[in-house]
């Protein structure tokens, strides 16, 4: 007699995140025989997720709000949702979803919980008074959320994990470091006509990220100005949009000012990243945003592009200085300009860095590796449950 399919509910703060960063996980869960339910605020990627056959449940909430009444309402709505859906496992992404989703699942009971910390966020790194004021509250919520035998916590780099373990808000035994969210290395692959040494054309430098100040946008513009003053013929492209829900976002007026400077060409949102990457020669990521592992660095390395990245935990293990790219200090436009000049003048070095970068991705950041490790976490947290025993026996 067949049992019902095991049910996994994935909760993120945007449908964009689920579609762009976790689609390979959804497909893997399908292949493994899971029923998949998606939860997020509404957005333009919902129709794409539905077209692929996934059931999506809208849950509107403010990602920026610190209003305790609103947050209590979010918790109440999540408890009702989890009681109605009764998933075997919930997987939460981004801080607010992790905190309130975990608390809701624990209040409902009988649900295995996996949390992905894709970056600590400014609450652990910002020194402003308001941030320092709410940090103890967030730490207390983490402690409440994470100290349970049916919770597992995935980090994208070891330093983020170590910071929370040392703060006493997560026990090390429930943690796992999995770099990135997985990348389809067949889709992100070097084009047959390599662009690393495009003869007769100016080297093309790509910055691709949300247009947040802490992503290093202004450092890029300053570096572009330095490159121009040195008489180097280099083309700068910026792919990305403003992010109004984030206080770090550039304003429309600031973006217009950058466009008028003619130092960089602003492309806005780009859907086809593999094609764009293959049309460029160097990828820069001058971020100091507190994130897990910037996906653009993985995509760039997979397409055999040399990368320039800031010397922060998020790029460790992926960008090796002098091997597949160059690492520079944060908030240092001159160091960024120097690194760009170095690679712009040496097409053969770019080519070698690119080949090394793809090897690094294939050996540590591909879908195959990331999904295998993620499902191992699922099995670990599910192991005591009757549903998992049915899964292991192939009864569904």
d(CA 296, CA 298): 5
240: left (phi over 0), alpha (psi -120 to 50) or beta: left
pLDDT at 396: 39
Q: What's the pLDDT band for 92 if we cut at 50, 70, 90?
A: very high
Is the pLDDT reported for residue 124 higher than 80? no
Q: What pLDDT is attached to residue 93?
A: 94
pLDDT at residue 149, rounded to an integer:
80
Partners of residue 153 on adjacent β-strands:
115, 175
Q: Hey, what's the torsion of the CAs at 72, 75, 77, 81, to 10 degrees?
A: -170
pLDDT tens sequence across 36-58: 999 999 999 999 999 999 999 99
Task: Assess whether pLDDT exceeds 80 at residue 389.
Answer: no
Rounded to an integer, the average pLDDT of 311-335 is 94
What token pair was written down for 346? Answer: 């040496």
Nearest to 181 by CA among 328, 274, 291: 291
**Rounded alpha-carbon distances, angstroms, from residue 43 to 9, 39, 58, 218:** 18, 12, 9, 29
Q: Render pLDDT for 253-298 as a digit per residue (tens, 0 to 9).
A: 999 999 999 899 999 999 999 999 999 999 999 999 877 789 999 9
Per-residue pLDDT tens digits for 182-193: 899 999 999 976
Pick the range with the lowest mean pLDDT from 95-104, 272-281, 304-313. Answer: 95-104
* Mean pLDDT, range 84-105, rounded to an integer: 94
Sheet of strand 307-310, all strands in order from the earlier edge strand to the far edge: 265-268, 235-239, 204-208, 282-285, 307-310, 325-328
Beta bridge partners of 309: 285, 327
Q: How large a percentage of the chain has pLDDT more than 90?
A: 68
Query: Comparing C-alpha atoms, which of 331, 367, 380, 322 is closest to residue 349?
Result: 322
Identify the DSSP state of 321.
B
195 pLDDT more than 50: no
- Write down the pLDDT at residue 381: 94
User: pLDDT category, 394, cuts 50, 70, 90?
Assistant: very low
Domains delineated in the chain: 7-182+367-392 (3.40.50.2000), 204-364 (3.40.50.2000)
CA–CA separation, 345 and 326 (whole Å): 14
pLDDT at 223 over 50: yes
CA 87 to chain centre: 25
Alpha-carbon Rg for the chain, nearest whole angstrom, is 22
Quick one: pLDDT at residue 241?
Answer: 92
Mean pLDDT of 150-166: 89
The residue that leads in pLDDT, 354 or 248, is 354
């Amino acid at each position: 007699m067949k049992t019902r399919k095991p049910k996994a509910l994935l909760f993120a703060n945007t449908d964009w995140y689920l579609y762009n960063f976790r689609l390979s996980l959804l497909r893997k869960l399908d292949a493994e025989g899971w029923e998949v339910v998606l939860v997020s605020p509404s957005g333009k990627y919902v129709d794409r997720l539905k077209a692929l056959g996934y059931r999506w449940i809208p849950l509107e909430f403010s990602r920026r709000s610190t209003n305790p009444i609103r947050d209590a309402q979010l918790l109440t709505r999540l408890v009702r949702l989890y009681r109605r859906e009764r998933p075997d496992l919930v997987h939460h992404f981004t801080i607010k979803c992790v905190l309130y989703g975990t608390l809701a699942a624990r209040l409902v009971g009988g649900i295995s919980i996996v949390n992905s910390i894709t970056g600590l966020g400014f609450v652990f790194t910002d020194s402003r008074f308001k941030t320092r004021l709410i940090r103890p509250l967030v730490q207390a919520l983490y402690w409440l959320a994470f100290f349970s035998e049916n919770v597992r916590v995935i980090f994208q780099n070891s330093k983020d994990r170590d910071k929370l373990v040392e703060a006493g808000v997560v026990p090390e035994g429930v943690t796992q470091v999995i770099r990135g969210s997985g990348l389809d290395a067949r889709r992100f692959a070097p084009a047959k006509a390599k662009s690393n040494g495009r003869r007769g054309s100016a080297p093309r430098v790509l910055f691709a990220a949300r247009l947040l100040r802490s992503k290093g946008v202004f450092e890029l513009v300053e570096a572009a100005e330095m490159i121009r003053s040195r008489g180097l013929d280099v083309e700068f492209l910026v792919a990305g949009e403003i992010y109004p829900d984030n206080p770090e976002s550039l304003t429309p007026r600031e973006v217009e000012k950058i466009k008028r400077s003619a130092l960089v060409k602003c492309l806005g949102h780009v859907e086809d990243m593999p094609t764009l990457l293959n049309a460029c020669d160097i990828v820069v990521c001058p971020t100091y945003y507190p994130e897990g592992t910037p996906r653009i660095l993985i995509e760039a390395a997979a397409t055999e592009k040399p990368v320039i990245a800031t010397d922060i935990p998020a790029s460790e293990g992926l960008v090796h200085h002098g091997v597949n790219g160059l690492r520079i200090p944060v908030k240092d436009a001159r160091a960024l300009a120097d690194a760009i000049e170095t690679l712009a003048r040496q097409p053969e070095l770019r080519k070698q860095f690119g080949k090394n970068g793809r090897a690094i991705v294939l050996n540590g950041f591909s879908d195959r590796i990331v999904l295998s490790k993620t499902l191992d976490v699922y099995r670990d947290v599910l192991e005591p449950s009757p549903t998992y025993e049915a899964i292991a026996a192939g009864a569904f």
